[in-house]
Structure formats: structure tokens, C-alpha cells
Copies of this chain bind each other. A is one copy, B any other.
């Protein structure tokens, strides 16, 4: 294991566990995706395989595959012989993403409400843990950790439904929304964090048998707040 390739020095060989992070394709994918999500590559930009390949010191081949994958995720749009367009975030897309989110999360919530006592308790426990972490992050003023906690909360919720297809879709939705939050999540003050925490708690508190519609309502309120926050109000 850990053979140094014949060409020039590569990165240090780390543990070879399932963490497939050091294939060129993966690096190209992560790099480009990160650049799109954090706003380094603004929507509307036209980028080329060659650019990225040069920056990452690799050939166009892995970059090409990364682009293809990003197109499937809806972050890039490939134009034949012209280049790759960083899909701009439109209000319509914001709406579509939030609608899909509400649909998927609402389904998970409903399923959870209808689930057996034991299973629901287990999920609720995990949600409480995440919520506690998020509360700590908020208190510490750690925006990054807070955002991750937010993602975890919703992800745990969705995955409790046990449907891989919906989970995967949801992950993609979150990624897309990340781009939209750029100016809004960071721009709003600490009051926003408190609001989010409160809404998460409300959802959590409403999880229970025969309370489906209540839980769904709380979720809708939460996403509605997100909507107004993202749309810049």
C-alpha cells in the first residue's frame, strides 16, 4: 500500500480506508463543487475544463468527469464546445428547492409521527443531541458549527424515513441551498440563530402520534422563515 507513483511527488499517503478522497477525479469534483458552493465561482460564470485542470495540476480527463457529475447535480450546465456555465441561482430555483425540501422533510416528519414509539424515541434522541450541539455552537458564536448542526438536524430527520432515494435527493437540495444562503445566513444577526433553534425545538416537540399535522405545520413555518431569509426579504 501507499506506493509512490512514478511521476512527481504526490500528496502524502494517508490511510487507505474507504475515504476515497485522493483520486484526481474526486479532487476535481470537491474543488469545483466547493468553489461553486462558497461563491468563489459566482453563478453565470463560464468555466472551462482546462482552467480547473491547470489549477489542480492534472489533465482534463478527471476534471471532465467532475463536471459531468456536477451537471447531474444541477450545479453546472455544460454547453457543447463552449464551456461549463455555473448555474445562476434564480428565485424560481429557490422556490423549487424549498418546495422539494418541504415535501421530503414533511414526509419524513409524517412517517416519524406514525412510527412506533421505540423508533420515534430513538430518532428524537438523536435530534436532541444535534440540537444541543447546535445550541452550543450558537452560544459560542461558531457560525460554521451552527450551520453544520442545522444540516445535521434536517438530515437526521430525512434519513429516519429510511428511503435512500429521498435521502440522496435531499442532500442535493441542501447543497443547492447552501449557495443561496451565502449572503443571507451570514448577514442576519444572532436573532436568526435563536429563531432557528426555537423552530427546531418546536418541530421536535410536535413529534408524536396523532400530531402529524401539527408537526407538519411547525416544519412549514420553519421553512417559510428560511424562504423569506433566503429571498433577501
How many whole Å from A25's CB to the nearest CB in chain B? 9
Option from B100, B164, B166 in Cβ contact (under 8 Å) with A163:
B100
Bound CA span A173–B100, Å = 15
Bound CA span A168–B64, Å = 23
- Asked whether A52 is an interface residue with its Cβ less than 8 Å from the other chain, the reply is no
Q: How many copies does the complex hold?
A: 2
Interface centre among A20, A80, A166, A173 (most CB of B within 10 A): A166
Q: Which residue of B lies closest to A23 (CB)?
A: B80
Asked whether, in the complex, the Cβ of B99 is within 8 Å of the Cβ of A163, the reply is yes
| Residues of B close to A163: CB separation below 8 A | 96, 99-100
Option from B68, B96, B103, B169 in Cβ contact (under 8 Å) with A69:
B68
| Residues of B close to A166: CB separation below 8 A | 96, 99-100, 103
- Asked whether A31 is an interface residue with its Cβ less than 8 Å from the other chain, the reply is no
- Asked whether A214 is an interface residue with its Cβ less than 8 Å from the other chain, the reply is no
Option from B23, B68, B69, B97 in Cβ contact (under 8 Å) with A165:
B97
Q: Which residues of A contact B (CB under 8 A)?
A: 20, 23, 64-65, 68-69, 72, 74, 80, 96-97, 99-100, 103-104, 107, 163-166, 169, 173
